[in-house]
Amino acid sequence: MATDAPPAAQAPEAPRPRRLPKLPGLPKLPLATLYLFSGILFVYYLSVNFLPFISPNYDILSSLGLHFNAPWSIFTYMFIHLWPSHLIVDALLLLVFGVIVENRVGGWKMLIIFLSSGFIGGLVNLFFFPTKILIGSSGAVFGLIGAAIVLHPFLSFSLFALSLNVFAPIVTIAVDNAEAAFVQKVVGERENLAYFDEALQEKIGALSVQREAVNRSLERTQDALQGQEESLAKLQADYRAGRVSRDTFEKLSAQLVSSISTLKANVTRNTQVMTLVSRDIIQAHQDRLQVATERVDVEEKAVQLEFSQQTREATPQAAWPHSVGLLVGAIALFALRKETFLEWEGKYDAITGFVLRKKPEKKPRP
């Protein structure tokens, strides 16, 4: 009789590896936007020697600002700014809209939109203002604004309107007030240093007159002392020769010794006064040298501020790079990102369907 074989022992299942819970990942940093933002700030403060509220000098504007004689300036002009409010508004608009565009299309495409908008806007400005120097990243930043409007119309329009009507005026007023305070400070330092220099000059003149008077008094006292000493020596010689009696010698010698002692005290006092006056004159000269050094620095700031004001008044209000950059940025986004056509086709269908949708006809009441 056949018997059933015992079932084979099954091998134990291998333990499954324990899976760790997935942690939410950090959002990708918009490095290209941050590099552009940092570069624009660094180039500005480097061009003004890290002095606030002062525009770049003429050499920098003529070499890096956009004009016909410098072909490389078609790119470098985007990184040069004239004054802090100009810089801050452009830099923060770049930060806001650059992040929006970079998060959707990537860093390289964002850079292409930025540079192409500034490039074409600069060419158009050269056509309309061939003799003017153009600086600023406004045209390139407006290219990013145009691309952002294509990507997120409602959000970008809202941020754009908020920036132009709220943010930009507040920043401009705040920076202009700080600049006015800085200019007033420089003017006050200029006036104070001029007053100190004039006061020190008058002090040196008065001390010099006093030193000359003390010097003349010292010379007279020394001459009188020498005469009295000679008289005393002659009296002593006459007394030894027997030409003067003892009583007369003692009386005259006492008078001469007293006079010589007084004259020596006067010489010592005049010498001390001469030393003190000379020390005060040397100190006044040192103070005036320090004031002169500070005046050179303040005068340089004042001259740069005056040049900055003249440069700002002579700089044309170039509207073409803004409008051209806005259009170029939108076109560049369509060219670099093919999905944009499909997105806008769907948005167009939704809009036209909403607008052209027929309302249901109302049935007449019986």
> How is residue 217 written in tokens?
């008094």
pLDDT digits (tens, 9 = 90+) for 126-156: 887 777 778 888 889 999 999 999 888 888 8
Q: Is the pTM of this model over 0.85?
A: no
For residue 361, tell me if it sits in a domain: no
DSSP label at 319?
Answer: -
Residue 21 has pLDDT above 80, yes or no: no
> Which residues constitute the domain of residue 171?
31-179+316-342
Give the end of a domain, one of 291, 312, 333: 312
CATH of the domain at 290: 1.10.287
For residue 328, tell me if it sits in a domain: yes
Based on the domain organization, do 39 and 78 belong to the same domain?
yes
Based on the domain organization, do 106 and 230 belong to the same domain?
no
For residue 19, tell me if it sits in a domain: no
Based on the domain organization, do 337 and 292 belong to the same domain?
no
For residue 10, tell me if it sits in a domain: no
pLDDT digits (tens, 9 = 90+) for 76-109: 888 888 888 888 889 989 999 999 999 989 889 9
pLDDT digits (tens, 9 = 90+) for 246-272: 888 888 888 888 888 898 898 899 888
Q: For residues 343 and 327, which has the higher predicted lDDT (pLDDT)?
A: 327
Let me know if 110 is exposed, middle or buried by CB neighbors in 10 A (0-12, 13-18, 19+).
buried
> How is residue 26 written in tokens?
């950090």
Based on the domain organization, do 276 and 167 belong to the same domain?
no
For residue 5, tell me if it sits in a domain: no
CATH of the domain at 95: 1.20.1540.10
CB 254 within 8 A of CB 231: no
Based on the domain organization, do 197 and 251 belong to the same domain?
yes
Based on the domain organization, do 274 and 229 belong to the same domain?
yes
CB 353 within 8 A of CB 154: no
3-state SS, one letter per residue, for 198-260: HHHHHHHHHHHHHHHHHHHHHHHHHHHHHHHHHHHHHHHHHHHHCCCCHHHHHHHHHHHHHHH
* Tally of domains within the chain: 2
Q: Which of 69-73, 90-94, 340-344 has the highest mean pLDDT?
A: 90-94
CB 217 within 8 A of CB 301: no
Q: How confident is the model at residue 112 (pLDDT cuts 50, 70, 90)?
A: very high
Q: Say what the pLDDT of residue 2 is.
A: 44
Based on the domain organization, do 174 and 320 belong to the same domain?
yes
For residue 18, tell me if it sits in a domain: no
Based on the domain organization, do 41 and 174 belong to the same domain?
yes
Based on the domain organization, do 171 and 37 belong to the same domain?
yes
Any idea how long the chain is? 366
Based on the domain organization, do 156 and 168 belong to the same domain?
yes
For residue 250, tell me if it sits in a domain: yes
Based on the domain organization, do 320 and 174 belong to the same domain?
yes
Q: What is the mean pLDDT of residues 210-218?
A: 88
For residue 298, tell me if it sits in a domain: yes
Q: Who contacts 286 (Cβ-Cβ below 8 Å, separation ≥6)?
A: none
Integer distance in angstroms from the first to the last C-alpha of the chain?
96
- Say how far residue 279 (Cα) sits from the centre of its chain: 41
